[in-house]
Amino acid sequence: MAQSTDPDHTPAGASLTELILEVFKLNGRLLSAGDQLVASLGLTSARWQVLGAIAFAGAPQPVASIARNMGLTRQAVQRVVNELEAEGFLTFAPNPQHQRAKLVMLSKSGAKAFQAAAKRQAPWANQLARRTSATEIRAALGVVREISTRLEATARDTNNEESP
């Protein structure tokens, strides 16, 4: 039950606000747990996320595409990509579509670190999900994805209105 006493919220709006606050708290806890899970691999949650975005893309991507897929700013992803490249986890390749926007790909050590992180993540996720059914988790995933889709559409609409 939503705890909002704001008369401007509908019941659904109050519940969504409560969900958003819980997601913020969850995000902080996930980042902290992720940092602990992969620290000995030379990774942080942010680095692990970037490696994962590159690994799951299936093909080398420019930083702007990686950032867009992750819902982050290009500058934030560029900083992490630069760190990962300096430590040998990533390499850059020429981009035939854009001279300055190099393509980012996993190096052998980056792929190895990502696989090692995945091996750690699976039992951790299994343990965390132990008392929740897959059906309940998929329902929560559906709600989160729907909210994300609506936010993306709102951002696109706002950007289109601001374009000359």
Catalogue all structural domains in the chain, each as residue range(s) with its CATH number: 24-131 (1.10.10.10)
| Cβ–Cβ < 8 Å for 88, 107 | yes
Instruction: Give the predicted TM-score (pTM) of the model.
Output: 0.84
Nearest CA among 4, 46, 45, 44 for reference residue 21: 4
Q: Give the Cα separation of 5 and 92 in Å (integer).
A: 52
> What is the per-residue pLDDT across 55-113, written as a single tens digit (0 to 9) for each?
999 899 999 999 999 989 999 999 999 999 999 999 999 999 888 899 999 999 999 99
Nearest CA among 71, 48, 76, 51 for reference residue 61: 51
Report pLDDT for 8: 92
